[in-house]
Structure 1
Amino acid sequence: MNRKLERSWMMYDWANSAFATTIMAAVFPIFYESVAAVNLSEGAATSYYSFTQSIAVMIVALMAPVLGAIADYSAAKMKFLRFFAYMGMVASVLLFLVNEGDYIFASILFIIASVGFSGGNVFYDAFLPHVSKKEDLDRVSTWAYAFGYIGGGLLLAVNLLMIMKYSWFGFTSEKVATQVAFVTVGIWWFIFSLPLFKNLKEEKKEPQGKRTQSFLSIGFSRIGDTFKTLKHYKQLLIFILAFWMFSDGISTIIRMATFYGATIGIGTNDLIAALLITQFVGIPCTLFFSKLAQWTSPKRALTLALMVYVVIVILGYFMTTAMHFYLLAICVGMVQGGSQALSRSIYARMIPQHKHAEFFGFYGITSKFAAIIGPFVFGITAGLTDSSRLGILSLIVFFIVGIVLLQFVNIEKGEREAKALEDPSDVVKVEVK
């Protein structure tokens, strides 16, 4: 497999991670509350922001499998990837226009950008089996996550310096510096996506028979077929159930960590610094899990990462100081990228080659619905017990159940099941330009 193609694919992770770090995790939540929703009460601002997150996740969850199926049928994964990437880039830049009281405008732009980010990732992930040999899936997937940590972390560090020391950069206020930070995300995302857009091309191949339905009808039809045929991929189905559980826990920790830290008295500067720690600790640790998967097996390496998450949840329950939060940030950085990368590569091993986008769309909807359920359980537990600590502790169930289910997955058998049901006449080839 061509290393140039692999590196081009990895660079997209470097590119779009800028959105995940600067806008999704660190800067936009604070900007939304302090600027866009400045005229709202604290409770109303929190509610609107939560609704914004939920709507964005729901849109992607509902459309991802359909779009994946359409892309497989029409051999148009790259077109869809470009469309959603550009959508995210433009919406990120337009956040520059948000001013005080513009919470609805900010919400709309964030939803559009999130749909672009997550929708693009469906097709980006679907190219993994095309750009890498089977024996290199773990290496390429983990290296891509490491690239993401580097790219997203570097721009986040620059943007935080720019915001905190805005006068150094010639800005008149912190607000203006923050608005410019949103613009840098769109520009960064575009520039570092160019290698992938230039070097990865699909070879057009018309589907057998004349198309008599709209692509939308075909998409829904193929998703229905995906649900029906999952029973033939028994190992993949078990893995999906395991992934649904532990991804619930991981997604909730990512989304709620800053909120949880704030509720127990951790300062804003400490929370932001911890995000940077997680990013840069994640670089070598993600690569370590690639090696660990080679030394042992992908399933054992993933199991180890999930066991560390169990420890993180327990320690999080007892956390009281900023130093504790820093230590937990280090622990999360150690396993976050590795667990997600290995999940992606294990899944890629057990799906049919001619339905990559369709099955990665299903993978996407699984992770997106997980992002809804986990915070809901966190919130319900915290509300009923009046304790955010018990809310974080409730996540241990997701990891334990996920670990147990994962032990029943036979990856080699799953590969054989996928190969046995492969239809070689429908395979889309990818080549270097």
Structure 2
Amino acid sequence: MAVTGTPTPATAGKRERTGWYFYDWANSAFSTTVITVFLGPFLTSVTEQAAGCAIDADECHATVHPLGITVAAGSYFPYLVSLSVLLTVFVLPVMGAVADRAPRKKPLLATTAFIGAAATVAMAFVTGDRYLLGGLLFLIANIAFGASVVVYNSFLPQLAGPDDRDKISSRGWAIGYLGGGVLLLLNLVAVTLYTEDGNPQRTLDLARWSIVSAGVWWAAFTLMPLLWLREHPGAESTGESRNVVTDGFRQLGHTLRAMRAYPLTLAFLGAYLIYNDGIQTVISLASQFGTEELKLEQSTLIITILIVQFLAFGGALLLGALATRIGARNTILVSLGLWLFVVVAAFWLPAGEPVWFMLLGAGIGLVMGGSQALSRSLFSQLIPAGREGEYYGFYEISDKGTSWLGPLFFGLIFQLTNSYRLGIVSLVVFFLVGGVLLAFVPIRRAIIAAGNTPPTLT
């Protein structure tokens, strides 16, 4: 296929790029405070209460029966994560197609963000044994979160040319980690000041209100990108809004057929879905692993995640700089090698030893942001012009905590073995297989085949 060249985007000023960065700042509160730290242990505790276990029980082997299905209390949250991604399979690609055809993207960003934030705030009502309400609100929030990020990511190709996207994407991720870390620090102060020894209900209440705070943060800071971003209608924009949803469903079918013309883009997407599944599983279940298997205090987990967040700020910028020297794909492969080390090391962590858990968190922080930011910017090079929303809809299925194979695998292994350690080490396969597949994708050829101009380094 002949190279047509990437259309030169209208110059995006500092104000617009800052507005784009700030949606990462806004939504990272959900990723960090809710998904990574509080929701897993919180919803597991609520589920264990529903199963008849005491709130301060060291172990709970009881089961619950949502919709008549027998589920181990410890597997409920991992299964919810898997269910959420199965639902997003239908929602996110359609949202991407709608974004490409909508004359205005910012109302879509506002709608999805505020729905997710509202569901998060509604966690205030998850008390006692209301594990089903907690699960439903999580599904709504997580799906809305993914849909909003699809719209958000579709702005990236219009903000920078091919040689600048790695830098712009890395800055967005870095600022997101900083924002998530700031709110988590505030929650750490609250947990430290108000936790009472011998009062597990107080700890549970603090976790619930920390989750609510993330919803408030998410909604408040979403106002900045809504004010500062400019509209960038996709090449498929209809110029009107009345049929955009119907047209989006119709266009989705066309996209699925058209994607077969870009097998190298699909090859990269397949590799990404596998290795990012492993990354997202570690992120979403690390807190549950630390609480249930390593018997660490909630304050220890929060401190560790703070270490991850603030080191990820620097790590995203560091790997972004490395990509300017060796290329984005090679930098991602380096990060996947480090992820392998992290997963294997996690299996051997001693219980009740917070220092080792914190050191492992430091390693995660250095590689987490860069691997995700560079994957996002590299994928933007592989998308045919005007199809950003549609393609990022498929991309987002395995991003920002919406992986499904990893949590499902983790949950099944726990249910069969009652061992979180075996669950965590099983994730090695995702990094190995994803890395090998990525290494065999000819990136420059894939960019040219998509009709885009390759950056200087690939």
TM-score of the aligned structures, taking structure 1 as reference length: 0.87
CA offset digits 1:299-330 (Å, max 9, x no partner):
11111000101111222222224332222111
SS in 1 for 2:187: helix
Percent identity over the alignment is: 33
CA distance in 2, matches of 1:359, 1:342: 16
AA aligned to 2:355 is: M
Q: Is the 8 A contact 1:132 1:140 kept in 2?
A: yes
Q: Name the stretch that deviates more: 89-98 or 131-140.
A: 89-98
Q: 1:311 to 1:173 in 2, by over 3 A?
A: closer
Q: Name the stretch that deviates more: 125-134 or 70-79.
A: 70-79
Residue in 1 that maps onto 2:105: 77
Q: Please, which of 392, 413, 434 is the counterpart of residue 402 of structure 1? A: 434
AA aligned to 1:258 is: S
AA aligned to 1:196 is: P
CA offset digits 1:376-397 (Å, max 9, x no partner):
2334445556654333232222
Q: Please, which of 278, 290, 305 is the counterpart of residue 308 of structure 2? A: 278
AA aligned to 1:107 is: G
Q: Give the alignment of 1:223-238 within 5 angstroms.
A: 223-238=252-267
Higher fraction of helix: 1
Q: Please, which of 6, 12, 16 is the counterpart of residue 27 of structure 2? A: 16
Q: Give the alignment of 1:171-182 within 5 angstroms.
A: 174=203, 177-182=206-211
Q: Name the stretch that deviates more: 317-326 or 357-366.
A: 317-326
Residue in 2 that maps onto 1:359: 391
Q: Give the alignment of 1:32-431 within 5 angstroms.
A: 32-35=43-46, 38-41=49-52, 42=60, 43-44=63-64, 45-166=73-194, 174=203, 177-202=206-231, 215-269=244-298, 270-320=300-350, 321-367=353-399, 371-381=403-413, 387-419=419-451
Tell me how far 1:288 sits from its aligned partner.
0.1
Gaps of 5+ in 2: 1-11, 53-59, 65-72, 454-458
RMSD over aligned CA atoms reads: 2.9
Tell me how far 1:128 sits from its aligned partner.
1.0
Q: 1:195 to 1:408 in 2, by over 3 A?
A: same
CA offset digits 1:343-387 (Å, max 9, x no partner):
100000110121110110011225489711112233444555665
CA distance in 1, matches of 2:209, 2:402: 32
Q: Name the stretch that deviates more: 289-298 or 323-332.
A: 323-332
Q: Is the 8 A contact 2:97 2:390 kept in 1?
A: yes
Q: Is the 8 A contact 1:61 1:369 kept in 2?
A: no
Tell me how far 1:216 sits from its aligned partner.
4.5
Q: Name the stretch that deviates more: 18-27 or 46-55.
A: 46-55
- Number of residue pairs the alignment of both structures matches: 418
Q: 1:205 to 1:59 in 2, by over 3 A?
A: closer
CA offset digits 1:142-162 (Å, max 9, x no partner):
111111111111101111221
Q: 1:385 to 1:39 in 2, by over 3 A?
A: closer
SS in 1 for 2:230: strand
Gaps of 5+ in 1: 422-433
